[in-house]
Structure formats: structure tokens, C-alpha cells
Structure 1
Amino acid sequence: MDDRTDRLVSRARSVIPGGAQTGLRAQAYELGDIAFEAAEGATLTTVAGESLTDYHLAFGPVLLGHGHEAVDAAAKAAIDSGVLYGAATTELEVEVAERLVDLLPSVELVNFCNSGSEATYHAIRLARAHTGNEKILKFEGCYHGWHDYVDVSVYPPPAELDERNRSTDAGPELDPYPESDGMLSAAVDSTVVVPFNDPDALRAAMERHGDDLAGVILEPVPHSVGCLRPTDPFLDALEAETDARDVPLVFDEVITGFRHSAHGMQAELDVTPDLTCVAKAMGNGYPVAAVGGRADLLAQAGGDHESGVVISGTYSGSPMGLAAARETLDIVEAEDVPERVGALGDRYREGLGDLLDDHGIEGRVVGYGSIFSVQFGVTGEPRDYGDVAGLDGDRFREFAAGMRERGHFFTPNPYKRHHLSLAHTDDHLAAYLDDADEVLAGLSA
């Protein structure tokens, strides 16, 4: 270990809980202390001078690659004109809102914020105000941010799966599992949880709680547990049940938005939600997010003393983030970025799957577009969280450690995912598969 890394991480641990800004970021230390000082294209540089190909990409925002010249230039130009105004509007704010309305089929009005968690928080408040109800229905294995409204039943421990509430009155409903200490019990109790991809469970929960539901929220493709692909019967039930009961359907496209399609996963799946949350790839790493949707829902936050919903934030609509978003969205559409990086993702998945077969290792490679995950100890297409919870986390961490030693960086969390960017090339693919072949050979031995 490099002395500078040792000193820096030690200093971090003395002033920052766990030595990183979040527990998820601190998981990088599981494979040894590490600290970064630069990033360019698909490469991270550590303070020890080590170059690593980045498959983490900050949990996915960096779709065009680190330090994209045009995006950075747009952000810097915005800073030169004015860092923050905090009243009325700007031309840049209007342009990006218009862009989102044009790109996303469901969006008629837009409110900007700074993170995906803020976006889902605002969406749920809008839904509750519209319906006058408080309960939110979510799906096990879907992550919608850190706040009490939804940080429930994302990664229930395997032991919890054997103790699910399957009583006659609750049907296939699941006991809500709070993901954090300190959560408001009333918020947890107001969360209805059902398995993903289970139309019967969805219909039963809607029948039981329909008159009390404020909204239904989901990741259209849950990438917080690798990748679950929604089935047509599930999507049909989702649309039919929410439409029939006038319960707002919220698509959390924080991960999928603009990474899988310039028009969102909603366009790919041909489902029109009532509210949509976007962030991450929208700004290629700059802090920018938005909630958009039906005009009547967003109009509740109009600020005219008759609109009762408060959506606020001093830094919402930051010119720097919006300028980065405008440039990023233009590039995503003009250069068909989702198609290009998605095609590369197909080749990573195919190559990695072949290697698992070659080495006789039980596992699977899942993913969609530019996202992929290798999951050890499980096989078959996963349909819900129960199909993911039994994966072999220890073997994944061994794989992650071996790949990091050979210059490839991704989080050692076995539920998470690899991301690709426009900066990843065929050379990166070849190097990754060559090194994965060597690491997997060691694991099989």
C-alpha cells in the first residue's frame, strides 16, 4: 500500500464517518484502502499513481466518460455567467425543461432538483397531495433514494425472506423492511411492499389498499439488484390498476433515464407513467435531477399561493448542472449514445457469460444496455428479488479483488452493477475479458 494512500485514508477516517461520504462509497475499502485524484475518459487515477479502468462510473452518471470536453466547457461557461440566481427563471432553465418535455413521453411540466432522492421525494409528495392519501406501494428490490418514504425492502437479508408475511388477510404482500436505523416508523408503516414482476400480488395489494394509496413507484428496470426485466403481464397489470383507480404511477428513471434511451425506459416499454424522476446520466456527473409528469400533478407546486405543494431547494436549477444537462442530452440524442454503449454492453455480457461456461462456474450475467452484472451461485433469468438474494457475495468479492489487481475498478457490492460509457472501447473490452478469464480460472480452481 502506498504511504500517501495510507495517510489520506487515515485522515478521512478521523473526520468522515467510515472514511467516505456514504456507506456505499466506503465499500470500496473492502478490497484495500484506495483514494482518487483524477479521472479522464474511462480511466480513474489513484493518489498512488495507479490507473484503473472505471466500470463503476460513480454509480452510473458518467455516460459520456469522465472529463467530456463539451460538457465541461458548457458547465464552465455557465459558471462564468453566474453561479446562482435563486429567483424567477433563466433561459437555460427553460431550455432544459423544454428538452425534457420533448424527450420524455410522459412529461408535460418539470421541476428541477439536485439528486435522484430529492426527485422521488418530490414525486411522492405530489402524488399524496393529488390523492389525499398517504400509502405508497413499492416493489421489493427497487431503490428510490435514502429518505424515509421509500428506503424500505431494497435488500432484505435472506433470513427475512423466510419470514415474509403470507397471512390470509395480507395475501402475497411483504412485510416492509426498513433499510436504515432511525427511520420514521409511520413512514415505514405507510409503505406497501409486493414482489416485482408479480401481477397477481400487485392486483391483490391494489384491491386491498386502493382507496388509501397515494401512488405506485418502481424502477422500470430494477438495476439496484443487478437487473430485473419487467414482464408484459406485470406491466399490463401496472397500467390497468393505476389507471382504473387514478393512483399516480411513478417511474424512477434515475438510473435508466437517458442511459438506455434518449426517451427513457418508458418509451422502450411503451408505458406512460404519471410522474417521472431523472438524474444521473442526465448531467454526465454534474449534480442535476428533475421530477416531471402530468401538468395537473406538477401544477400543484406552482407557488401561486393556491398551489399547495411545496417543492423547494436553494440550489435547484443550478446553472452549472443545467448547462451540463443541456449539452449531455444533445449529445445523447445526436450521437445515439444509448444504442452505441448498449451494443458494447451486449458484447461484455456475451463474453463474460462464455467465460463462466468455459470455467464451469455456476453463475449468470444479467443486464440491459450499457449495464451488466455477474452474479455467482445463481442461474436462470431473475424475475424478482428472491431470485437475486441467494447470490454468492464472497465469490463476487474475490472476483472484484482479482479484477482490481489487474486494473479494473467496480464496487465489490455483489448486488450492484458495471456501467459502460462512450469512452469505453473495444480495447477495454478485450482487456477486461482477458483478465476475467485469468481471475475466473483461479476461482474455479
Structure 2
Amino acid sequence: MTNPQPDDEAPRTDSSDTEVVSRARAVVPGGAQTGLRAQAYDCGDVAFESADGATLTTVEGEELTDYHLAFGPILLGHGHPEVDSAVRETIDRGVLYGAGTTELEAEVAERLADLLPSVEMVNFCNSGSEATYHAIRLARAHTGNEKLLKFEGCYHGWHDYVDVSVYPPAEALGDVDGGPERKPFAESDGMLSSAVENTVVVPFNNPEALREAMEIHGDELAGVILEPVLHSVGCLRPTDEFVAVLDAETSERDVPLIFDEVITAFRHAAGGMQSELGVSPDLTCVAKAMGNGYPVAAVGGRRELLAQAGGDNESGVVISGTYSGHPVGLSAAKATLDIVASEEVPELLADLGDRYRAGLRDLLDDHGIEGRVVGFRSIFSLQFGVTGEPRDYEDVAGLDEERFREFAQGMRDRGHFFTPNPYKRHHLSLAHGDEDLAAYLDDADEALMEM
């Protein structure tokens, strides 16, 4: 699964990782395009020149097995030939039209409607943050309400609507006047205070708190949004009771339910987690694995809600974007979704993920290190200083952050790349195989021994 290289391949630069990072720091805040990307520097300066399959190559020529995968979009491996070939063919025909539609746009929308059980119509955009932004606007327009209910620890993008109580510090934890809600915590300076105030925060996997919060706020909610498997803090899997209460409360009160499947759709199941949980959300947000690294995202859902953005009435919902439905992203999505469906990619990666998790659990036991291995299917992570199956954010908030960074440093030194952020996760791609698994576990054995 490698890209053919041109005969006159460009020569490698003579720069070092540190030189490139220093140049970036002079002109880019933090030396990277987001603070999350800059966290990679916790294990030393790193600048990348190329990627292929499951391998990243730095400007110094060091090869690292990639378990970060750009926070998860790379599902098939870097430079997948079928995806990249489809993109090249599209580029040759033209990259942006900005009016009307294309057959490709209709085809990918049809494909999403076929795969995702709840989706009847689709609006394309370019990132998961855009998708959740659009979904919430559609829900607010539909209900006439402004308040949004979200769950502590869930990440739905960086915008003011949702950047609340994702990683609240210990001193910010606590109930509101002894009720079922958590105190909303703004994750960024500069956020609109009214956006924070209009956010109802409830602990994940707490059906009683959810039921009480819906009783109090149900009539004033625009929608309820969540990750169906919460991966922003490693992995929190929803309990059957929690899912049942979520479904019943939103349905009975006619509150739009928004599934943020930006991470889970196509990576965990071709039909998203909604195809397995038995819940039909009103709106669904997808991105990441949908395009194997190319920028493409979408919000889909019930026709009644999506039709508000049709632009054929006087007071409809405005969803706009010059690059929305970009042919490059859509051609990547079409090729990726074809492969996901035809080659049973989620099932293959789930089996591989099981073996990584089992091996890591054995190593923790062998070395007598306090910790746990969490994850689901193609996602896994080590969490030190905590034990037991985590159910909510508070079960994760006490993990040993420095211990994880020590492990990440040890593994980086041995040629394995993943973010040293202890709340994040490893991802697997179709390019990973048994040799990568064996090498990872052997080196993890050494790294844990040193710890």
C-alpha cells in the first residue's frame, strides 16, 4: 500500500527536526498549528517530511511507526494507492466549481445515506468542528431553543457552542446547586459567555443524572450531543441503561439527538455506532476516517432538519462554505468508503486492536505496574495510576500524566510515535500488521521495565 515515487524524487533537506521546529516557533504560535499538535514536542522536537503506510519519516530521516495517525483520520494507512489515485484523477478534471453540484457530490451523499441508518440528507463541510457547528444550528432552528446538553469529557470541536467541560480541572468539578448538572467549564479564553451559560453539562454514563437534567431543561433544549463511544479521554463505552435513557428521553421530549461520530463512524463500523446501539439520532456528524486524511466532513440526518438549509425559503438555516463539498475531499471519501465496506476494514482492525490490548495488559501484570489498558476495536491507550473500567470523566481525571509521558518518551526513543497527551489514544490502520504488533509489544516491555 505504498505510493509510486517519481523518478526524480526531491532531495532530502539538510535541516534537523530542531531547526525546522525553531523556524516554526518564530512564525507559528507554539510552533504547530494547534496546541494539541505542539504537545508532540513533550518528547522532543519532531518535524515530518513524509508518510507511507504505517511509517512517518522525519526531516532527519528517522522512521517512526505511526500510532497517532493524525488523531485518527488515517484508517487505511498513509498514501493509500486507491485513494490517492482517485484524488489525482479528480484534480486533473478541476478542483473547485463553487456553483451548482457534481455527480460526485450526489454519489457520496447517497453512499452516506446508505451506510448510516438515520441519515436521509447530507450537507458537506471540511472538518468535524464545522459539522457539529452546523448540526447545532439546525437543531436550534428546528426547536426554537438555544440550550444544548452535552456530556462531561466529550469533545465536539473548538467552537464556542461545544468547547465546554472537555477536560475540566479538578477544582472545576462539581454539581450545580446539588442537582444533576456539572458546572460548565470554558476550555478557552475568549469564548462567548452566553454560549457557556447555555450549555447544560451532565456526567457521561449517568442515566439518573441525565433523566433529572432532561426533566429540568427538556422544554428549553435545542438538542443533546454526545460521542456514542467517548474517545476524547481515551475510551468510555456507554452502558446499555445509559443508551436506553438517552434514547427514551430525547424521543419522548422531541429533543433532537446529535451523534458526533467523527471518530467512530467508518473506523468502528461502516454504519457508525448508531448501527449497533439501536439508536436513531436526528443528526449525525462524520469526518476523520471518512477521507483517510483528506479534509472532508458532513452533517447528515432527518430530512425535516436538513431541509432547513435548502436556501429556498425566507428564513432558512444558513450553512455555507466555499470549500464545502470540495471534489478532492469527496473523491477521497468515495474511495475510502468503498474500501471500508468491501474489505471489512473495521472488523480486521478490531481483531488487531484486541491483540494489542491483550498484550499490553499482560505486560502491565508482568511488571506489576498500576494502570489499565482502555480502548475499543482499533483504538487503545494505556492509563497509569488508575484501575478498573472507566465509566465517566472523573474515572479518568485521576490518571498519572507524567507516567504516561515517560512511557511515550521511551516508545518514541524506540521508534513508535503517538501523542504524549495521556488523555488521548493510539489508532490502528489497515497498514499495521503482525510485525508492528510484535515490535510494539517487545519495545513496550523494555520501556515498562525501565519505568
TM-score (norm 1): 0.98
The CA deviation string for residues 345-388 of structure 1, in whole angstroms up to 9 with x for no partner, is 00000000110011000000000010001000000000000000
- Of 310, 328, 339, 1:302 maps to 310
- Rounded to whole Å, the distance in 2 between the matches of 1:309 and 1:244 is 25
- Rounded to whole Å, the distance in 2 between the matches of 1:26 and 1:166 is 34
Partner of 2:112: 100
Matched, 1:244 2:252: yes
Query: 3-state DSSP class of the match of 2:225?
Result: strand
- Of 392, 413, 437, 1:405 maps to 413
Partner of 1:167: 177
- What one-letter code is carried by the residue in structure 2 that aligns with 1:356? L
Contact 1:96/1:325 (<8 A) preserved: yes
Matched, 1:419 2:427: yes
1:39-438 alignment, distance < 5 Å: 39-161=51-173, 164-168=174-178, 171-306=179-314, 308-438=316-446
Question: Offset at 1:76?
Answer: 1.0
Question: Offset at 1:207?
Answer: 0.7
The CA deviation string for residues 210-254 of structure 1, in whole angstroms up to 9 with x for no partner, is 111000000000100000000011000001000011100000000
Question: Offset at 1:7?
Answer: 1.6
The CA deviation string for residues 382-422 of structure 1, in whole angstroms up to 9 with x for no partner, is 00000000000000000000000000000000000000000
- Rounded to whole Å, the distance in 2 between the matches of 1:432 and 1:421 is 14
Question: Offset at 1:165?
Answer: 2.6
- Rounded to whole Å, the distance in 2 between the matches of 1:175 and 1:23 is 24
Partner of 2:3: none
Question: Offset at 1:167?
Answer: 1.8
Query: 3-state DSSP class of the match of 2:397?
Result: coil
> CA 1:95 to 1:307, structure 2 compared with 1: closer, same or farther past 3 Å?
farther
Contact 1:300/1:308 (<8 A) preserved: yes
- What one-letter code is carried by the residue in structure 2 that aligns with 1:374? L
Question: Offset at 1:285?
Answer: 0.3
The CA deviation string for residues 314-333 of structure 1, in whole angstroms up to 9 with x for no partner, is 00000000000000000000
Question: Offset at 1:305?
Answer: 2.8
Contact 2:54/2:429 (<8 A) preserved: yes
Question: Offset at 1:166?
Answer: 4.5
Contact 2:52/2:78 (<8 A) preserved: yes
The CA deviation string for residues 134-164 of structure 1, in whole angstroms up to 9 with x for no partner, is 0000000000000000000000112222xx1
- Rounded to whole Å, the distance in 2 between the matches of 1:318 and 1:90 is 10
The CA deviation string for residues 72-95 of structure 1, in whole angstroms up to 9 with x for no partner, is 000111111111011111000000
- Rounded to whole Å, the distance in 2 between the matches of 1:351 and 1:237 is 35
Partner of 2:41: 29
Question: Offset at 1:307?
Answer: 5.5
In structure 2, stretches of 5+ residues that fail to align are 1-13
Structure 1 stretch displaced more, 266-275 or 146-155 = 266-275
- Rounded to whole Å, the distance in 1 between the matches of 2:194 and 2:177 is 22
- Rounded to whole Å, the distance in 2 between the matches of 1:250 and 1:288 is 19
Contact 1:331/1:337 (<8 A) preserved: yes
Contact 2:15/2:59 (<8 A) preserved: no
Contact 1:299/1:307 (<8 A) preserved: no
- What one-letter code is carried by the residue in structure 2 that aligns with 1:51? E
In structure 1, stretches of 5+ residues that fail to align are none
- Rounded to whole Å, the distance in 2 between the matches of 1:428 and 1:8 is 29
Structure 1 stretch displaced more, 211-220 or 265-274 = 265-274
Aligned residue pair count: 438
- Rounded to whole Å, the distance in 2 between the matches of 1:254 and 1:235 is 19
- Rounded to whole Å, the distance in 1 between the matches of 2:122 and 2:202 is 29
- Rounded to whole Å, the distance in 2 between the matches of 1:186 and 1:239 is 28
Query: 3-state DSSP class of the match of 2:273?
Result: helix
The CA deviation string for residues 43-62 of structure 1, in whole angstroms up to 9 with x for no partner, is 00000100000000000000
Contact 1:141/1:154 (<8 A) preserved: yes
- Rounded to whole Å, the distance in 1 between the matches of 2:206 and 2:24 is 44
RMSD: 0.9
> CA 1:299 to 1:132, structure 2 compared with 1: closer, same or farther past 3 Å?
same
Query: 3-state DSSP class of the match of 1:304?
Result: coil
Contact 1:140/1:385 (<8 A) preserved: yes
- What one-letter code is carried by the residue in structure 2 that aligns with 1:221? V
- Rounded to whole Å, the distance in 2 between the matches of 1:87 and 1:23 is 35
Contact 2:164/2:184 (<8 A) preserved: yes
- Rounded to whole Å, the distance in 2 between the matches of 1:240 and 1:191 is 21
- Rounded to whole Å, the distance in 1 between the matches of 2:161 and 2:132 is 9
- Rounded to whole Å, the distance in 1 between the matches of 2:39 and 2:95 is 33
